[in-house]
């Protein structure tokens, strides 16, 4: 600290971490790649079938030969279930985050472009979404329509869209009012070009940060729903589902719960680190 | 000379301070302006801030729809903003901005930005785009190796050159420069003004040059219109307006041009409030600050009249003494 000039606004903890240790980002990327590969090749990686019970080796501890992460109360292999859970949870989390970001940003841009009643409608919907406890709404929808993977992804896709909509609208309006966007409109560009080629890249950094916040929240939300029995249904398993069912054996067999918890923590942390780094990389003025 | 652009009775007003029960304040930024711009001419628009110069410029370009009055380009009325027809017309009329850094997208290289109008209007494809961009950059005095730079890596003058190159990419017939040099260093101002002048002479561009800087206007303009509170108070060829200003406001403006080695003696110093369009004085809007104003000026609005081949709006004009040169 003594030999380097400290810039006036203190950079965030993550930013400082990245500047000092870029390998942290490498680790984060490596972890995410590992998770994605695990999700893709889950069928080949699983040592056992996720529903195969072996009552003679119930609650086997970590390091048991053949069951390196132990077994659960029905003698099912935790490692196999973990691999399957990663696939399910990642599909839900990635699918929903992308859906939520795309939906929110599109509505925000529409509001900024058309103003008037379109803007009022979008903002009213956003307020409605923000005011309504999402958990209650999901419970109602899932209880009514039953649980399926597609429904779950779509439902989670509504989580957090109002944040993207507000951010995108605000940034697009300020961009159009002065500066580069107005200049491009003045050149005769169509709104699609103005929004996709100019405003979107310029506001992407803010949206990416928002995405890195939404992603962990969606994983946790899905965990919560699964824990309540309305998310992913047994015998299928997700990370939250595993944590939920492992809770009962927390004192006797903590490995059932710890393995999926560790994966949740590592994945959300990696996404945050990667997002922070990506935001800086995407900005040519900080390069 | 046929008129390229004609403005008839342009009025623009904005509503502000709309409280629940109060009467909304109506601000007339531009209050009845008639202008003609002939082909190949550079018309200067001069005035203090708040006099409606920029609003007028935006209406001439069709970026804003006037509250009343109309703008005719090639004798055709201006299409409504953001329609297909309006977008096509953008290729023929361009704006040069006051703040080049704000007008450029900081995430795109300057070559990509100069190429944008070509792509938008489908004027060039593939390698032709690269060639055209290189030619444009050379014309405005940018180096070839600067093509892949980002706006924040250039100096203020270079950024303004990028904006000019982008504006010229479609070979527009009409250009509005809205205070193009006021955000630049004095040393750079002359370069950019000379560049604009060279480009104007080479292409015979028709330009409207908005500025509060009389030195710059005198340098580049053929004809000058002086604005005060949304109205033109005097309009005349550049040479005569600077040599012999008629309207008391123009006289004060011209006498404010700094001359080397001369102090304040002999200058007309304007007193009173700077113009506020929300509280327009009665009669002649300039009367609270005018040296010659009397009771009649507070009542009667002076029309823009022909005084020996020049237009001026002052009741006292026949008696107003000429400014000692």
Of A22-36, A81-95, B14-28, B290-304, least confident by mean pLDDT is B14-28
With contacts defined as CB-CB under 8 Å, which chain A residues touch B61?
Answer: 186
How many angstroms separate the CA of residue A282 from the nearest CA in chain B? 9
d(CA A230, CA A22): 40
By Cβ distance, the residue of B91, B99, B106 closest to A285 is B106
| Rg of the Cα atoms in chain B | 21
By Cβ distance, the residue of B105, B120, B150 closest to A188 is B120
- Cβ distance of B106 and A202 shorter than 8 Å: yes
- Cβ distance of B105 and A198 shorter than 8 Å: yes
The pLDDT assigned to B17 comes to 62
- Cβ distance of A183 and B97 shorter than 8 Å: yes
pLDDT tens digits for range A216-249 = 788 878 878 887 777 777 778 888 888 888 888 8
d(CA B169, CA B147): 15
Tell me what percent of the residues of chain B surpass a pLDDT of 70.
Answer: 95
**Model confidence band, residue A12 (pLDDT cutoffs 50, 70, 90):** low
Interface contacts A/B by beta carbons within 8 Å: 59
Tell me what percent of the residues of chain B surpass a pLDDT of 90.
Answer: 35
Instruction: For A175, list phi and psi in degrees, rounded to 5.
Output: -70, -35
Go through the domains of chain A in sequence order and give each one's CATH number.
Answer: 69-282 (1.10.3720.10)
ipTM: 0.82
HEC string of chain B? CCEEEEEEEEEEEEEECCCCCCCCEEEEEEEEEEEEEECCCEEEEECCCCCCHHHHHHHHCCCCCCCEEEEEECCEECCCCCCHHHHHHCCCEEEECCCHHHHCCCCCCHHHHHHHHHHHCCCCCCHHHHHHHHHHHHHCCCCHHHCCCCHHHCCHHHHHHHHHHHHHCCCCCEEEEECCCCCCCHHHHHHHHHHHHHHHHHHCCEEEEEECCHHHHHHHCCEEEEEECCEEEEEEEHHHHHHCCCCHHHHHHHHCCCCCCCCCCCCCCCCCCCCCCCCCCCCCCCHHHCCCCCHHHHCCCCCCEECCCCEECCCCCCCCCCCCC
- Cβ distance of A193 and B120 shorter than 8 Å: yes
Average of per-residue pLDDT across B191-216: 90
With contacts defined as CB-CB under 8 Å, which chain B residues touch A285?
Answer: 106, 150, 152
With contacts defined as CB-CB under 8 Å, which chain B residues touch A284?
Answer: 106-107, 150, 152
By Cβ distance, the residue of B95, B99, B106 closest to A186 is B95
Average of per-residue pLDDT across B151-166: 91
The pLDDT assigned to B21 comes to 65
pLDDT tens digits for range B15-29 = 876 666 666 778 888
Say yes or no to pLDDT of A21 above 80: no
């Amino acid at each position: 600290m003594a030999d380097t000039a400290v810039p006036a606004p203190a950079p965030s903890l993550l930013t400082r971490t990245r500047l000092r240790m870029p390998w942290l980002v490498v680790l984060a990327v490596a972890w995410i790649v590992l998770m994605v590969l695990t999700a893709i090749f889950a069928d080949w990686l699983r040592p056992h079938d996720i529903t195969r019970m072996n009552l003679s080796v119930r609650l086997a501890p970590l390091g048991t030969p053949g069951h390196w992460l132990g077994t659960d109360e029905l003698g099912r292999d935790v490692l196999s279930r973990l691999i399957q859970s990663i696939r399910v949870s990642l599909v839900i989390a990635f699918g929903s985050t992308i859906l939520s970001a795309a939906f929110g940003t599109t509505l925000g841009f529409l509001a900024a472009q058309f103003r008037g009643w379109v803007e009022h409608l979008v903002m009213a919907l956003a307020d409605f979404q923000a005011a309504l406890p999402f958990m209650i709404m999901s419970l109602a929808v899932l209880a009514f329509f039953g649980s399926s993977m597609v429904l779950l992804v779509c439902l989670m896709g509504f989580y957090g869209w109002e944040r993207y909509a507000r951010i995108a609208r605000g940034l697009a309006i300020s961009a159009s009012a002065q500066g580069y966007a107005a200049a491009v409109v003045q050149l005769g560009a169509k709104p699609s070009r103005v929004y996709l080629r100019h405003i979107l890249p310029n506001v992407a950094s803010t949206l990416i940060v928002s995405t890195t916040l939404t992603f962990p929240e969606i994983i946790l939300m899905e965990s919560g729903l699964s824990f309540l029995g309305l998310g992913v249904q047994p015998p299928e398993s997700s990370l939250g589902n595993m944590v939920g069912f492992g809770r009962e054996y927390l004192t006797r067999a903590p490995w059932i719960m710890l393995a999926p918890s560790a994966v949740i923590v590592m994945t959300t942390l990696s996404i945050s680190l990667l997002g922070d780094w990506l935001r800086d990389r995407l900005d040519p003025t900080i390069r | 000379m046929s008129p390229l652009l004609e403005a008839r009775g342009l009025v623009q007003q904005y509503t502000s301070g709309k409280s629940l029960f109060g009467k909304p304040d109506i601000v007339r930024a531009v209050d009845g302006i008639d202008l003609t711009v002939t082909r190949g001419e550079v018309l200067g628009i001069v005035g203090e801030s708040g006099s409606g110069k920029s609003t007028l410029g935006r209406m001439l370009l069709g970026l804003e729809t006037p509250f009343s009055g109309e703008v005719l380009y090639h004798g055709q009325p201006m299409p409504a903003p953001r329609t297909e027809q309006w977008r096509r017309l953008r290729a023929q009329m361009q704006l040069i901005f006051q703040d080049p850094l704000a007008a450029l997208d900081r995430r795109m290289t300057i070559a990509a930005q100069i190429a944008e109008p070509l792509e938008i209007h489908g004027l060039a494809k593939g390698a032709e785009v690269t060639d055209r961009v290189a030619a444009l950059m050379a014309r405005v005095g940018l180096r070839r190796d600067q093509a892949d730079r980002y706006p924040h890596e250039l100096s203020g003058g270079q950024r303004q050159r990028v904006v000019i190159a982008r504006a010229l990419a479609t070979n527009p017939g009409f250009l509005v420069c809205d205070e193009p040099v006021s955000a630049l260093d004095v040393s750079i101002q002359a370069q950019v003004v000379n560049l604009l002048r060279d480009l104007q002479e080479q292409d015979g561009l028709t330009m409207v040059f908005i500025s509060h800087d009389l030195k710059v206007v005198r340098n580049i303009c053929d004809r000058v219109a002086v604005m005060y509170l949304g109205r033109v108070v005097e309009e005349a060829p550049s040479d005569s307006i600077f040599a012999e200003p008629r309207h008391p406001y123009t006289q004060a403006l011209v006498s404010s041009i700094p001359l080397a080695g001369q102090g304040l003696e002999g200058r007309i110093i304007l007193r009173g409030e700077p113009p506020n369009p929300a509280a327009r004085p009665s009669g002649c809007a300039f009367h609270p600050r005018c040296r010659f104003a009397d009771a009649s000026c507070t009542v009667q609005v002076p029309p823009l009249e022909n005084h020996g081949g020049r237009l001026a709006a002052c009741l006292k004009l026949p008696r107003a003494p000429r400014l000692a040169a």
